[in-house]
Amino acid sequence: MMDYKAIRRALHQIPEIGFEEKETQAFLLEQIRKLPQERLQIKIWKTGLFVHVAGRNPSRLIGYRTDIDGLPVPEKTGYSFASRHEGKMHACGHDFHMTIALGVLEKVARQPIKDDMLFIFQPAEEGPGGALPMLASREFKKWKPDFILALHVSPDFPAGTIATREGILFANTSELFIDFHGKGGHAASPHLTHDMIVAASHFIVSLQTIVARRVNPLHSAVVTIGKMTAGTKQNIIAEHARVEGTIRTLDQETMALIKDDIERQVKAVEIAYHCTSRIDYGANYYQVFNRAEDVKPFLNFLLSRKYPHVICGESMTGEDFGYFLKELPGFMFWLGVGKTSGLHSADFMPDETALEQGVKVISDYLINGQ
């Protein structure tokens, strides 16, 4: 039987950014090739994988998706098994997601369930998004699941507790990249230049009014700027500034309203600061929406088996698994990993006891709950 802790720790040491997950892919393949191969078909897709497992007497194909990418976060956990890839970390728990997927895959490879299964090891969830290209792939078209499920770890729930809900679980998201270009020059002659650090700073401050003053208070929204780069030296006025962020909403109308307001504010900055600009919305993720008829049987199953679970609220995190659920029946849920720093933190340290519980609940549901 797989040693979940050892697998998670090995994966934790090799985080890779979206579509660079070569070492991760090789590690996953190595683990999968140790399993009984009779019922398995493996297809390599870019840096991800599709693994088809033949069932005993299949009438359906059940999909199980895990993301496999890490984040550009310099790790500060102090783990003896900390990341070996400088500046990168599994700070969103995808090392847990992959380990649980391997654990479930092991169970069904050794003891096939009635139906066929498709395990999807998806690159680039953190961006630019692997779900859409995977959905469009030849492999997915050949093996299109009838139903699909996925989990995400959460520090908001006790280790091993499942949390989900009917309706929207994760928000609509849009990345946001804005470049401002103007006239730079000598620090001593501001009157001869148009300072892009001041222009971008003004934009970032005025941006805060969109959620506070424009969005209907009853419609949740987030606009976060997570990165700003500008300038070349302390005594040179910057000719370029770049602002990078993300927009989150629970409905598409609010997303459109926010983008319209951002464009107006950028135009205002262009006029006020004599500059030009370029807006790029990067990757946009569709909301994760659990249809009642798909998630209710799972909730009833958890109740009947007395597995610890709660009905949770919506979250402003994003997940490109939303695109799978837009096309297929299925659901997503949180798996609690106990109290630790939040997702995307340099000291995110999830409780490893959740690994075994995750594998147990999902395999039990696949074997007995369908």
Ligand X SMILES: CC(=O)N[C@@H](CCC[C@H](N)C(=O)O)C(=O)O
Contacts with ligand X by CB under 6 A lie at 92, 126-127, 152, 173, 175, 246, 283, 285, 317-319, 343
- Rounded least distance, CB 362 to ligand X, Å: 18
Q: Select 139 or 175, whichever has its Cβ closest to ligand X.
A: 175
The residue written with tokens 């005993």 in the block is 56
- Rounded least distance, CB 216 to ligand X, Å: 21
> Which residues sit opposite 151 in a β-bridge?
333
Choice among 16, 69, 106, 126 that is catalytic: 126
- Rounded least distance, CB 8 to ligand X, Å: 18
Do 281 and 174 meet the contact criterion of CB atoms below 8 Å apart? yes
Q: Select 81 or 177, whichever has its Cβ closest to ligand X.
A: 177
Choice among 67, 195, 319, 320 that is catalytic: 67
- Rounded least distance, CB 318 to ligand X, Å: 4
Query: Letter for the amino acid at 309?
Result: H
- Rounded least distance, CB 193 to ligand X, Å: 32
67 is catalytic: yes
Q: Distance (Å, rounded) from C-alpha 32 to C-alpha 16?
A: 19
126 is catalytic: yes
Q: Select 32 or 91, whichever has its Cβ closest to ligand X.
A: 91
- Rounded least distance, CB 283 to ligand X, Å: 5
Q: Select 182 or 330, whichever has its Cβ closest to ligand X.
A: 330
Q: Select 21 or 319, whichever has its Cβ closest to ligand X.
A: 319
Q: Select 92 or 196, whichever has its Cβ closest to ligand X.
A: 92
Catalytic residues: 67, 126
